[in-house]
Amino acid sequence: MRDRVATLLLWAALAPAAAQTADAALDRRVERVTAELRCLVCQNQTIADSHAELAVMLKRQVRDMLAHGASDRQAVDFMVQRYGDFVLYRPPVKAATWLLWFGPFALLLAGLALLFARLRARLREPDDDAFNEEFPA
Amino acid sequence: MKRYAIPFGIFAILLVFLGIGLRLKPQEVPSPFIGKPAPAFTLTRLEQADKTFSPQELRGKVWLLNVWASWCTSCRAEHPALVAFAKQVTVPIVGLNYMDAREDGSRWLDKLGNPYALSVFDSDGKVGTDYGVYGVPETFVIDRRGNIRLKLTGPVTPEIIKNTLLPLIRELDHA
């Protein structure tokens, strides 16, 4: 009998703490998922950051889904199905987004190629009097 | 003269990009639903809480779903155009009363006129989310097979009705 009371008391003491850590873990997951999603009302903010009504509601929906056992992936897919790839802050790599993903590197390479071509041309025909004009020896 | 050609060329290109940038409308996000079935739902009617509506009931008909709310100022701006439009066409316009209160929605319709065949009541916005609603008002055109053919974000104007909605409805109605 005494054992049982002790167990009950222990449970009563521990249950809220367990619930709290579970809550905190859920909070972290909600935060992580919604930080990847664009708020469509205020497009330069994530759903996690935004206080727009839509963002608050979507945060609640993500939270509901995760609490009911959905994976992070499923929650993100849920949003993509409804709002398109545009909600993703990291757009998927596919034919339509190649320019977006690789365009900057292509520009960088083009710039470097141009730079090297110029430098080489300048090395081949050193222009000797360019400096001497302004600073005569 | 030649030395100015390159900077001038770059300037011209920048100008073109700037011009394109000014014309982009980033608030119009392409909907992933075009050509796909309109998501199913069953909701109570705004003004008859004991009756429900679901999109299957309109299978075989071309119809419009217009998302609105009494708190939405752009909906108020759109409303006269919608009322006039409802008188012009025979296709039913179903209202999705989005994240609103029942009394506020009903009062709004009483005061400003009711262009809807019926309105359904989506108080928590769940059905709105299923349709990818992010800025009210939004308008969907749904064909006889129950597929979404067009989505408009923002207020419907007389120009949009004349140039986009009416031709599309005519086309779908005869298809």
- Top residue of B134, B136, B138, B140 to mutate, by most chain A CBs within 10 Å, is B134
Question: Percent of chain B at pLDDT above 70?
Answer: 99
Number of domains in chain B: 1
Q: Note whether A34 and A64 are within 8 A (CB).
A: no
A41/B132 touch (CB, cutoff 8 Å), yes or no: no
Q: Note whether B64 and B152 are within 8 A (CB).
A: no
User: Nearest Cβ partner of B29 from A40, A58, A80?
Assistant: A40
A58/B31 touch (CB, cutoff 8 Å), yes or no: no
Chain B contacts of A84, Cβ < 8 Å? 29-32, 132
A61/B30 touch (CB, cutoff 8 Å), yes or no: no
Residue A132 clears pLDDT 60, i.e. is over it: no
- Per the model's pLDDT, the better-predicted residue between A133 and B92 turns out to be B92
- Top residue of B29, B67, B74 to mutate, by most chain A CBs within 10 Å, is B29
Question: Percent of chain B at pLDDT above 90?
Answer: 82
Pairing of strands B118-122, B93-98: parallel
B30/A84 touch (CB, cutoff 8 Å), yes or no: yes
Does B147 map to a domain?
yes
Q: Is the ipTM of this complex over 0.90?
A: no
Does B146 map to a domain?
yes
Does B14 map to a domain?
no
Does B130 map to a domain?
yes
Does B69 map to a domain?
yes
Instruction: Give the pLDDT of residue A131.
Output: 56
- Top residue of A34, A38, A40 to mutate, by most chain B CBs within 10 Å, is A40
Residues of A with CB under 8 A from a CB of B: 40-41, 43, 53-54, 57-58, 61, 80-84, 86
Instruction: Give the pLDDT of residue A135.
Output: 56
Residue A108 clears pLDDT 90, i.e. is over it: yes
B129/A82 touch (CB, cutoff 8 Å), yes or no: yes
Pairing of strands B63-68, B93-98: parallel
Rounded CA separation A29/B9 (Å): 50
User: pLDDT tens digit string along A91-104?
Assistant: 888 888 888 899 99
Does B17 map to a domain?
no
Reported confidence tier of residue A76, pLDDT bands at 50, 70, 90 = very high
Instruction: Give the pLDDT of residue A44.
Output: 83
Reported confidence tier of residue A16, pLDDT bands at 50, 70, 90 = low
User: pLDDT tens digit string along B52-75?
Assistant: 999 999 999 999 999 999 999 999
Residue A13 clears pLDDT 80, i.e. is over it: no
Q: Any idea which of A57-66, B28-37, B39-48, B153-162 has the lowest mean pLDDT?
A: B28-37
As a whole number, the mean pLDDT across chain B is 92
CATH number at residue B98: 3.40.30.10
Residue B161 clears pLDDT 90, i.e. is over it: yes
- Residues of the domain holding B98: 28-174
Once rounded to an integer, what is the mean pLDDT over residues A40-47? Answer: 84
Once rounded to an integer, what is the mean pLDDT over residues B143-166? Answer: 94
List the one residue out of B137, B130, B100 whose CA is nearest residue B115: B137
Instruction: Give the pLDDT of residue A133.
Output: 54
Does B150 map to a domain?
yes
Assign A120 to helix, strand or coil: helix
